[in-house]
Amino acid sequence: MSISGSSAVADEIASLRAQLREHNYRYHVLDEPSIPDATYDRLMRELQALEQAHPELVTEDSPSRRVGDEPLTEFKQVQHEMPMLSLDNAFNAEEMLEFDRRLKQRLGREEDFEYACEPKLDGIAVSLLYRDGVLQRGATRGDGRTGEDITHNIRTVQSIPLSLLGEDYPPLLEVRGEVYLPRDGFEAMNEQARAEGTKLFVNPRNAAAGTLRQLDPRIAASRPLEMCCYSVGVVEGAGESWPGLQSEILARLQSWGLRINSDSDVVQGIAGCDAYYQRLAEKRDSLAYDIDGIVFKVNDIALQQELGFVSRAPRWAIARKFPAQEESTRLLDVEFQVGRTGAITPVARLEPVFVGGVTVSNATLHNRDEIARLGVKKGDTVIVRRAGDVIPQVVSVIGAERPADAKAIRFPSRCPVCDSPVEQIEGEAVVRCTGGLVCQAQRKQSLKHFASRRAMDIEGLGDKLVDQLVDEDLVENAADLYALTVEQLAGLERMAEKSAQNLVAALEASKQTSLARFIFALGIREVGEATALNLANHFGDLPPIIDASEEQLLTVDDVGPIVADHIRQFLDAPQNLEVITALRDAGVRWEQVQVADAGELPLADQTWVVTGSLEVTSRDGAKQALQQLGAKVAGSVSKKTSCVVAGPGAGSKLARAEELGIEVIDEAAFIALLGQHGVSL
């Protein structure tokens, strides 16, 4: 190749690298993707092809060099040029006030400070070293002075630039931050582990830590690690232009292509810190990642330097921790509950413990396989985790505290409610009662599901009343509900005649429903609201679904082989068809659905989010209307969200949508949109 030809290839490679770095920056740092994924992939393939043809032009900071090299045989030790210190903690507002008082006393001032605030990510602290803008080394915190060289894994993290953007960065720059796993990435890893029959990860932090300590970088490359920067360490050659505020340093890092947390802020005084803490505490469960508190730092770097350090922590920073989401307690006993589909779930009875803001005395152990994986016994001291509204769960056992009289947990061979044999289908972790509707527990749960708000929406038919109806042998299946009389109901405990009349009226009103609600109410295994709606929209009426083969069911969006098999098994059971016929005979009815090609629906391939308090309809009603138009309805806002419907009181989801520049409409505009497409609420 001629010199001019070689120069042209080098220029083309340089251009592709620059484009890919810019797109990486917009996608991973700013959350503002500028091109479709397919276009990004095409640019990457062009670069890889050119580099393969011209290996002499390959550089270590090329965007193509993230897939992971050969495994290491061992980790090397790294001495941090500047120690990576830990933070002191505060656990309440009073301790924050005391922290602020100490700083003012030490500086001899009364006026409030500016504080830089950011979420305390529940991940792994790391150090990144850049020389002349190129990533040279990644290291763990270790003991603060000595860490491990994890450069081979750090290079695979998409939100860490292999070379910095711009030209005004210092010749030597050490960046510090937190590597973590987003919640959806953690769930995807555990889904894969379940599919492969391998050990599940306990929590996102442990999974991130384990990933960074893999000798094979291809493992890290396959996992969705992310990083947010929170400070700098050693900086050389920055000159007088170096920022004088913590918040400005973070902004400078972002301009060089490094990710910072979008929820970071600057507030005035300790009152501002408390307001920020409360705001993030409300958002905590809706965030895409785990946090365990808030970090507050004096924003002025000159004041930081004046305040200095104690032996292990800076005086000018503190972490206010959230109430613990994990605590230890003793497992007293295990009981077994039977669900609607016969699934037998072990429930741990615990010594009450305050965790995640509430007192917990029960926690799920999931299934027999989970008990075996944990190696848990009655009498053990266990770690219990609770996050938001998630059911508390036992996540590990403190083996060193096992008492001598600890007893093994034995899974029942017969149903604890109806004494029917239990079965475990090959490939499934769940043990099920085979009693079907003979089992009172299954009957009760099935009826509760049938009457629930998202199914037949039978107002006044609560859980306790369902229990009474089954215990008194007044109801065996859903169709029997519609034969109940005022006299029968009024004779039940805590049921007056007026309440009985209201329930009979509610049963009558529930007969007019939709096909999707009816399918969902039947309680077919793994057929949720979205799948029920897809079945209704695909087939239009119930008889075609009853007659559909598994092959025909597989043509429905969101129906795979397992779900198709569950549907066929349910509809092939004579007793289930008898109940369906009895329900139709009792007057349960719906309008036939106009079958349309999903690709032709006006909101096909769009993802919507509904948030806040709607006045004309409920969120569920809005969700069903959107699904009728072909939209997918998600529970959180991401860069893939097409539009957000926001009612009064919309909080973090609205803020996230505005931050990402996603279209937001109010309820009036939403109703008008539905009207344009012939959908009424």
- Taking the C-alpha atoms of residue 500 and residue 330, their distance in angstroms, rounded to an integer, is 44
Which whole number is the average pLDDT over 639-649?
Answer: 86
What was the pLDDT predicted at 586?
Answer: 95
Question: Tokens representing 162?
Answer: 């292999």
Task: Give me the pLDDT at residue 73, please.
Answer: 63
The pLDDT of residue 653 is above 90: no
Rounded-to-integer distance, Cα 182 and Cα 280, Å = 17
Q: What is the pLDDT of residues 32-45, one digit of tens each?
A: 656 665 666 677 77
Give the C-alpha separation, 381 to 402, whole Å.
Answer: 7
pLDDT of 68 reads 47
When the pLDDT of each residue in the chain is averaged and rounded to a whole number, the result is 86
Exposure string (b/e) for 578-615, b if CB count within 10 Å is 16 or more? ebbebbeebebebeebeebeeeebebeebbbbbbbebe
Class of domain 326-408: mainly beta
pLDDT of residue 597: 59
CATH H superfamily, domain 515-590: 5' to 3' exonuclease, C-terminal subdomain (1.10.150.20)
What is the tens place of the pLDDT at every residue in 100-133?
999 999 899 889 989 999 999 988 999 999 999 9
**Which tens digits make up the pLDDT trace of 551-579?**
999 988 778 888 899 999 899 988 889 99
- pLDDT(227) > 60: yes
| Whether pLDDT at 3 is above 60 | no
Three-state SS for 155? coil
Query: Homologous superfamily of 436-510 in CATH?
Result: 5' to 3' exonuclease, C-terminal subdomain (1.10.150.20)
Fold of 598-676: Rossmann fold (3.40.50)
Choose among 306, 76, 259: nearest CA to 164. Answer: 259
Q: Tell me what percent of the residues of the chain surpass a pLDDT of 90.
A: 46
Strand order in the sheet with 643-646: 632-634, 607-611, 643-646, 663-665
| Mean pLDDT, rounded, for 308-336 | 86
Instruction: Give the model's confidence band at 393: pLDDT under 50 very low, under 70 low, under 90 confident, else very high.
Output: confident
Q: Where in the chain are all domains bearing CATH 3.30.470.30?
A: 88-321
Q: Which CATH architecture is the domain 3-57 placed in?
A: Orthogonal Bundle (1.10)
Domain boundaries for CATH 1.10.150.20 within the chain: 436-510, 515-590
Given a cut of 60, whether residue 28 has pLDDT beyond it is: no
| pTM: predicted TM-score of the whole model, two decimal places | 0.51
Mean pLDDT of 424-443: 85
pLDDT of residue 656: 82
Q: Catalytic amino acids? A: 120
Q: Where in the chain is the domain with CATH 1.10.287.610?
A: 3-57
> Residue range 503-509: average pLDDT?
95
Q: What average pLDDT does this structure show over 631-651?
A: 83
DSSP states along 518-552: HHHHTT-TT--HHHHHHHHHHHSSHHHHHH--HHH
Cβ-contact 298, 107 below 8 angstroms:
no
Fold (CATH) for 88-321: D-amino Acid Aminotransferase; Chain A, domain 1 (3.30.470)
* Choice between 427 and 145, residue whose per-residue pLDDT is larger: 145
Residues of the chain with CATH 3.40.50.10190: 598-676
Q: Residue 349: which H helix or E strand, with range?
A: strand 344-355
Higher pLDDT, 649 or 374: 374
In which region does residue 485 sit, left (phi positive, over 0), alpha (psi from -120 to 50) or beta (all else)? Answer: beta
Name the least confident of 287-291, 401-405, 504-508. Answer: 287-291
CATH 2.40.50.140 maps onto the chain at 326-408
- Model pLDDT, residue 615: 78
**What confidence score (pLDDT) does residue 238 get?**
85
Confidence of residue 542 (pLDDT cuts 50, 70, 90): very high
The answer on pLDDT for 2 being more than 50 is no
594-604 tens-digit pLDDT = 775 555 778 88
